Amino acid sequence: MYTAQIKITLRKSILDPQGKTVEHSVQSLGYRNIKNTRIGKYVELEIDASSQEEANRITDEICRKLLANPVMEDYTFQITEQSEAEVEQS
């Protein structure tokens, strides 16, 4: 069993008004050394796959087909194999 942790953000070239607004708030707290604040989505899912490669392929497919819209979003993900204890727990 594998866990996929997926992050989806607006593409770098696109202005992220939510990120900008939050950045202004952070700066008003006194943290002047903050920049390039981006807000995105985090998706976590479990995949019953036979190998890390298969889990990778499935996750990439899901991202392309549904989770991210390539016109406006980029995605990155990390796949980790669950330990036996984690599998038993779930």
CB of 13 to another protein, least distance (A): 9
Say whether residue 66 binds another protein (CB under 8 A): yes
Q: Three-state SS across the chain?
A: CEEEEEEEEECCCCCCHHHHHHHHHHHHCCCCCCCCCCCEEEEEEEECCCCHHHHHHHHHHHHHHHHCCCCCEEEEEEEEECCHHHHHHC
List the interface residues with another protein, window 19-48 (CB under 8 A): 21, 41
Say whether residue 67 binds another protein (CB under 8 A): yes
Say whether residue 14 binds another protein (CB under 8 A): yes
Distance from C-alpha of 43 to C-alpha of 86, rounded to nearest angstrom: 19
Say whether residue 72 binds another protein (CB under 8 A): yes
CB of 17 to another protein, least distance (A): 5
Chain residues binding another protein by CB under 8 A are 10, 14-15, 17-18, 21, 41, 66-67, 69, 71-72
